[in-house]
Amino acid sequence: VFHGRILAQRLVGQETRYEVEVKAPYRQRSPLVSREYLWVPNTCGCPPLREGGEYVLMARRHVNHEHTLNRILLQDGGYARPWTPREARLVREAARHC
């Protein structure tokens, strides 16, 4: 779970790749760097993330069996909400209780 700002969007094959500035990580199992690519397994624009927009994103690290692919994946129906101070507070509180 992290707070990120969408810098760019690009269609790559049957997926959408977003370049994201990581503003604040809230809960993570693997470290994030200041800029990451976030992959969405569709090209329909779902969820609707706009360039310049800030979001709270719940994604997972996806590593294939051969360990040749290591990326952040936002699954269909994944959590992607516009960032607000209230949203950030709720995420921090939830992370403390885990």
Region 85-94 average pLDDT: 68
- For 13-43, b/e burial (b = at least 16 CB within 10 A) is eeebbbbbebeeebeeeeebeeebebbbeee
Res 49: pLDDT: 93
Res 23: pLDDT: 92
Rg (CA), the chain: 13
* 41, 14 contact by CB (below 8 A): yes
The tokens 């992607």 sit on which residue? 80
Compute the distance between CA of residue 6 and CA of residue 25 in angstroms, rounded to an integer: 15
Structural domains in the chain, CATH included, are 2-96 (2.40.50.120)
Enter the tokens of residue 49: 């993330």
Give the model confidence (pLDDT) of 17-68 as tens digits.
999 999 988 776 778 889 999 999 988 878 889 999 999 998 888 887 776 6
What band does 70 get if pLDDT is binned at 50, 70 and 90?
confident
